[in-house]
Amino acid sequence: MGNTKSGALSKEILDDLKLNTKYTEEELCAWYATFLKECPSGRITKEQFEGIYASFFPDADPTAYARHVFRSFDTNADGTLDFKEYIVALHLTSSGKTLRKLEWAFALYDVDGNGTISKNEMQEIVR
């Protein structure tokens, strides 16, 4: 990820995010500073994500759904979201291209990652 000793975002990640999102360098650097304040380790755990997600739905228990959303954003499947995964997810869900949103939605429903959505997977997500 970024250079955690100085708190700076690496040029490689910055350039990649500028190329693949709508965000400017200044916006990305501001997002990164906020991200590190909230997640000093530079990663969001599944449990932290579930807590954040639950705060948007105080009258429900969206834990199971939050796990699926987290899985779909955790592109390297390491059990955490780094800054790049976080920003790509933010961009995708807020202003990404329709095709990318559809690819993400498919990945969300394809729980076992086999390239197809079974009736059981559909029911699991809908529940």
17 to 22, 60, 83, 100: CA distances (angstroms): 8, 34, 10, 15
Question: Quick check: 17 pLDDT over 90?
Answer: yes
**The pLDDT of residue 11:** 93
DSSP category for residue 73: H
pLDDT tops 60 at residue 110: yes
Instruction: Note whether 32 and 9 are within 8 A (CB).
Output: yes
Highest-scoring range by mean pLDDT, 3-12, 72-81, 96-105: 72-81
Asked if residue 6 has pLDDT above 60, the reply is no
Q: What is the mean pLDDT of residues 48-69?
A: 82
| pLDDT greater than 70 at residue 106 | yes
Q: Which residue has the tokens 């200044």?
A: 26
Q: Which residues contact 10 (CB under 8 A, 6 or more apart)?
A: 1, 2, 3
Three-class SS state of 41 = coil
Given a contact cutoff of 8 angstroms between Cβ atoms, the answer to whether 20 and 88 are in contact is: yes
Three-state secondary structure call for residue 80: strand
pLDDT at residue 2 in the model: 42
Which has more confidence, 73 or 102? 73
Task: Give the pLDDT of residue 96.
Answer: 64
Whole-model pTM above 0.95? Answer: no
Which residue blocks in the chain are alpha helix, DSSP H?
11-20, 25-38, 46-55, 63-73, 83-95, 98-109, 119-126
- Average the pLDDT over 4-25 and give the result: 83
